[in-house]
Structures are given as C-alpha cells and as structure tokens.
Amino acid sequence: MQLVVAEKPSVAADLAHVIDPGAARRQGWLQGRQYAWTWALGHLAELAPPESYQPALKGRWRLELLPVVPATFRVQAREGRTAQLAVIRHLLAEAEAVVVATDAGREGELIWEYIREVCGYAGPAQRLWLSESTPTAVRAAFAALQPPRSDLAAAARARACADWVIGMNATMALSARHGGLWSAGRVQTPTLALLTAREAESRAFRPTEYVVVTVAFAAVESEFRGRWFRGKEDRLAERAAAEAIAAKVRGQPARVASLTRKRTREAPPRLFNLNDLQRAANALHGLTAADTLKAAQTLYERHKAITYPRTDSRHVSAEAFATFPERLRAIGGELAPVASRLAADLPHPGKRVVDDAQVSDHHALLPTAAAPDPAGLSPAEGKVYALVVRRFLAALLPPAVYADTEAITEVAGETFRSRSRVLLTPGWREAEPQVAARDKDEDDEEPAGGNLSRLHQGMEAACTDAEVAARQTKPPKRFTEATLLQVMETAGRLVDDEALAAAMRERGLGTPATRAQIIETLIARDYVLRQGKSLVPTERGERLVALAPPELREPATPGEWEQRLRAIEAGSEAAGPFLGDIAAVTRRIVADVGAQARAAPAPGSPAPGKRPATAPAGAREVGPRQQSGQPAASGTPAQDTSALGTCPRCGGPIVESPKAYGCANWRPEAGGCRWALWKKVAGKTLSPVQARELLARGETKRVLKGFTSQAGRKFDAQLRLERETGRVSFVFPSAAPTSANVPGTAARAAMKRGPSRAAGSPGRT
C-alpha cells in the first residue's frame, strides 16, 4: 500500500475524504482502501544545535569556539514530536511507495526531506502538486502525480543551512561578546535595520517652515480654487511675501490664461500574490501580515475558497485561464452582476494576467469555484476573501478612464494653478473602488480645483478670496506593514515603478511565505513595537542593529542570497558554492563581533558568553511552519532575562514574567518582595522598553497610544509610575483635547483619583 504524507491532520483528512472516503482513524494516521494517510504536524525534525558539533558550547557560548560550520548538517527529531515520527517511521517501513502531500513549495519540501532523513527512508516517492484544494483539483492532482522535486529540495536545504550558519553563529557571537541574548538572523536583522534607519532619519529631520497661498475664483456658472505658483515654485519662505500676494489679488479681476484637458487611462491592477494581498489588507483594513496569511491559509485549506496563498506570482498560466468562467460564475453577492457579465463574454487580458513564463510553482491568488458561505467566515477571512475576489474581477475589467483638467489663472500679474480629475468610465474600479492610501504628504496637496468643466481659455473671472497658510516639511513616515512588505520585496528600496520593482523581486528580503513571521518575530523579541499601523524599533532593536556587523544588517546581501536560492531551485546553480560563500561571510561576521569593544550590559545581565537561562539549546527563529530556518539563539526565549532596572522597594533586579515586570526577589528565601508593574494597563501591553523608561524616569517620555477606557473608548496618554507601589496613572497631553486623545469617562476618573491599578504579584503562582 502507498503512504500519503500531508502537512497537517486536517489536510490529510480532507484529501482522504476525496480520494479514500471512509478511511478509518488510527493513532496518528488513517487507514484507507487505496492509501494509508498520515501527517507531519508542521516540522517534526530540525537541524541539530551547535553543541551537537561543538559540545563545549552547551554550557557557555564562547567566541573562541566560533564559528560552527558543519561539513555535514545533522537532522534530529524536534522535542515533543517523537511519537508522530515513530508512527511515520513504522508506516514508511511498510509502504510500497510514498506520495508527498506537504505544501507544494520550498518549505513543504523541507518538511518531507527532514522526515525522510530522520526515518531513513530511501524508497520511491512522488509529489502531489496542488494549487487549490477543491475536490476536483485534488482528484486531478492525484491523477497526475509528479516526480520528486530535487531542485526544490536542494534550495530548501540550502536556505535552512544558510540561515542556521548565519543565525546561530551571529546570535552566539553577539551574546557572548556583549552579554544578554541578542537574537540575530539572515533576514530578521536586515529588516530591523530598515526600520531603525527610517527612525534615525525621522529623528534627524529638522522641519522647514513655508507658506502657501490659495485663492477662490468665481466665473459664470463656475466656482473653483487655485494655488499660487511662479515657475517651478509653489511655496514661499516668508509669510510677509505671501500676505502681500494675497492682498494684491483679493477682489481683483482674473483671466483663465491656459486650459489643458486630456483623457487618462488607468490600467487594471495585476492579480494578487501573497505580498500584495498582505499590503492591501494592512492598508485598507489594518490587518497584520500574519493575520492576513492565517486567514488566507484557512480560506485555502478549510473553506476551499481560494487557491494556494503562499505564492509570489502575479500571473496565471493559459491552462488556469481556461478555468476563469467557472470561477466567475461562482461569485455571488453585490459583485455577481459584474462576474456574470465577464463570464458571458470573457476578455483576454493579455500578458498582464496570462503568461506561462511568469508562473513557476504556483500561479497568482484566485477565488475557486467553491464560493464560501459568508456566514461561516470570520471577519478577517471575509475581508481577505473579498479582496481576492475584487482583485480577480478588477484584473479582467478594462482600464478606468479619467478627464484631467489643469487651468492656469492670472490675477494682477500672479499665476494660480487649479487641477481636477473626473472619472468618466469606471472600468476596473467598478470592482475595486477602494485603493490603499498613498504614502504622501496630504497637507501639501494642491486644493481640489472644483468645477473646471465649464471653463475655457480666456474666460473672465474674479478672485473672491485669498488665504495664507503656514506649513512645515514633514519627516519620512514610519513604516507600516504595507510599506515594509513593499521594501522587503524590492531588496530594501521603496520602488513605485512597476517594471523596476518586478526586476528586483528575485532579490527580495525573504519570501512571501516568511515575511509575515519575520515581522512577528521582531515584535515578539521586543525589537519592534506596533503603534497603530506604524512599526517602531525599540531601544533594544536599535542597539542590536548598532552591534551587528555591516554584512549582517545590509538588506542587499540577503537579497542577493535569495536570488541564488532561486537559481538553485531552477537548477542553474549548485548548493555547494552558495553554502561556501555563506560560511565565508559567517567567519567575517564572527571576526567583526570579536573585534568589537564590549558593550556595557544592562544591570543583571548574564556575564558575557554565559548562555541566558531562557535559551535552551537548539532553537531557531520560528517561522510559518514552526521553523522558518531563521535561526536565533538556542531556545525560544519568551523574555529578555536582563534586568530592566532596580526594585524601588528592596533594590533587587526587576525582570520580566508573563504578566508583569516584577522583583526577582519574590521568593520567600530571597525576602519575598512582591513589587510588580503589571504589563496590561487599560487594555495596552507595556513593552520592556517602556517598563525600563518608567523605572528610570518615573514616566514615559512620549504620549503612548492605544489605551482603552472601561467605556470602550480609545485614548492616548503618558504613564507616570508611583515607584514605591508600582501603581501607574495617566498624564494627558496639555494641549486642548482632540477627537484623537479625549479619554472615556473611566479614564478621566482614573486621572482624577490617581493611580489606575494596584500592583501585586507579577503573575506567579
């Protein structure tokens, strides 16, 4: 009998339901008539930890023992996964052949490769290649099983080994040299460097004052507005000069000196890949990249409503295009008329959508012919599904057509520009009227021109009013997940030109399947905070980037490595030279760290080289399938064990626990000190950086966002710490309250009565 190895129990059960209905449940597998079915629970095995090659590293990370670069990498069972591995090992010993049904991509291939190696399986295997999990697609895939993907396996192993070598050695070197736990990674650290560089730009920015003049015009049956300009300048440095222009033109006759009208076609967008879907979901709905991926994976696996989500393609093959009418006929709701019209007379969108050469493993994201019941979807799933459907329709619709008008009006020797845009033909915007907000300085936009349709060149008008407004240039905006995903895809550069961006995608930071988890990892390790939609590096994150050698933080370097991994996947490069170059870079990183002056550790940090207590051996950066291959320090440390400050009550070190920042002397034998600062304050979780700040200064430097009153209203405030008790109270901005910072009744009451919450035990039992 053949054995089918899936990635999850639910996937194995779904496949068996289609191919082997009535398969009986066993312990860790299903017994069917045609196949035995089992599953991997994500990664069951992993690369062995550094101490398996260098035993002296087990108790202490020492620079003189680094780097660890294995000649041959060993694979071992993951902790807690040995029982399922034993089931698979037994089934493999009895199997005539294997059907590999893990996710059809690089990471899914790695899951099977590790299982095969740990179990010692050398028999025949075929690959099940699925781009959607509807019953029809499953039957078709089983009828056309493919040979093993040795190229994909080679790229997967090369990526995992490269991440292990760089991540493990960089983490051990930095931690050994500077004390504490400094988790570094091949993609994680360059991504963090992008965030810290933007933050540094913002801090270094010095605003420049300028003034603009806008005027109101009245003509026959038409009122419109314009902004002063002279040559290429549309702003003034001195308010007095602006006031003089306003006084000069106010109430004066005007004439439309020139009028330009043209029609503009806006091409439809390309189909979604995962990166684009995550960007749109973040910009339009505020969903994190991880939430979007989770919703998309559920839509693919459970609801069978969309195709394979972890794709980097924006195109489909001619074969997939032939299925479009069926997919269109399944679309219901408010978009059903649009979908029915397209299904009845399907236009061929050309190579913008259909291009076999642009499809490698999986085509772009599409809705399937199995439309889900909206009532059965979570809010996030509903939003993600709607985005996929709308983009599918938009890509098939014609361009949107606009009437663009620009008028130049002269008054008393001064010139004013007015612009307007009117949508003439919706085209693709019939399906996708919303667009993600552009990263622009909205305050500096020219005023809407108003009604320019009745104007003609030489037309007389009157300047009815003139206004002077003082403005400031603004610092670079912080990254949101949407903009960070964009620069990760294009090798660390914000590229708007579509052709250039496409050329750079081969050199992106990470892959669509791993970028969401990289962001979540940075947040979990207290290197980055979410503030609204913005991603802000913490003091700890900035310190790591400052300590990291240039080769570890430069975004272009992992971009080049990703390009080589794609070449290995395509069979045009061998893994050996690539891993040789990785080893050489790692040696330079370790040497650079060894030459650094030792940074002063925070009070209570482990001695340099001593492994932190929360860092047991053998861990790595956790990825979408439990192991992304981005190694970190050993273990999965939940908190930094470095002291955050000194206990105001007994002088002991303040350390982090799951629920609070509390005194390490809480045990009776150490004095039983119960001082604690609770992490949750009015619905917001305080970060270690904010806890350090409160302990050191007694209050936060900045107004913090995201508190929620008992009435459910959002408000912003600084926090003030009563050191002796650990209680915190709110300090509200001294400026007049606005809709953004007016607290709810409960919050105002808290401000009046003082501390908002009593301190207690830091979550220990």
Query: Higher-confidence residue: 113 or 626?
Result: 113
- Residues present in the chain in total: 765
Average pLDDT over residues 354-383: 93
pLDDT of residue 637: 31
pLDDT at 271 over 80: yes
What stretch(es) of the chain map to CATH 1.10.460.10? Answer: 159-203+478-594
Query: Higher-confidence residue: 757 or 491?
Result: 491
Share of the chain above pLDDT 90, in %: 62
Rounded CA-CA distance 510/508 in Å is 6
Out of 300, 308, 385, 402, the active site residue is 308
pLDDT of residue 629: 34
* Cβ contact 259:402 at 8 Å: no
* Cβ contact 90:60 at 8 Å: no
From residue 37, give the alpha-carbon distance in Å to each of 85, 135, 574: 14, 17, 34
Over residues 556-591, the pLDDT tens digits come to 788 788 888 888 988 899 999 999 999 999 999 999
What stretch(es) of the chain map to CATH 2.70.20.10? Answer: 209-267+400-472
pLDDT of residue 381: 97
Sign of CA dihedral 520, 522, 525, 529: negative
pLDDT at 739 over 80: no
How many angstroms from the chain centroid is the CA of residue 10? 26
Is the backbone peptide bond immediately before 67 cis, with ω within 30 degrees of 0? yes
Known active-site residue 385: no
What stretch(es) of the chain map to CATH 3.40.50.140? Answer: 2-148
* Cβ contact 163:185 at 8 Å: yes
pLDDT at 432 over 70: yes
Q: What is the CATH number of domain 2-148?
A: 3.40.50.140
* Cβ contact 352:267 at 8 Å: yes
**By C-alpha distance, which of 727, 613, 604 is closest to 664?**
604
Give the torsion through C-alpha atoms of 711, 716, 718, 723, to 10 deg.
30
pLDDT at 671 over 90: no
pTM of the model: 0.75
Average pLDDT over residues 241-246: 97
Which runs of consecutive H residues, i.e. helices, occur in 505-644? 512-524, 539-547, 550-553, 556-570, 575-594
Rounded CA-CA distance 683/657 in Å is 18
pLDDT of residue 684: 86
3-state SS, residue 730 = strand
The two tokens of residue 354 are: 């259909």
Query: Higher-confidence residue: 62 or 609?
Result: 62
Please, what CATH class does the domain formed by 209-267+400-472 belong to? mainly beta
Architecture of domain 159-203+478-594: Orthogonal Bundle (1.10)
514 backbone dihedrals φ, ψ, rounded to 5°? -110, -15
pLDDT of residue 678: 86
pLDDT at 444 over 80: no
> Which DSSP helix (H) or strand (E) runs through 173?
helix 150-178
What stretch(es) of the chain map to CATH 1.10.290.10? Answer: 274-396
Query: Using 50, 70 and 90 to split pLDDT, how confident is the model at 412?
Result: very high
Q: Which fold has domain 274-396?
A: Topoisomerase I; domain 4 (1.10.290)
pLDDT at 661 over 60: yes
Amino acid at 668: P
Rounded CA-CA distance 277/295 in Å is 11
Rounded CA-CA distance 646/675 in Å is 11
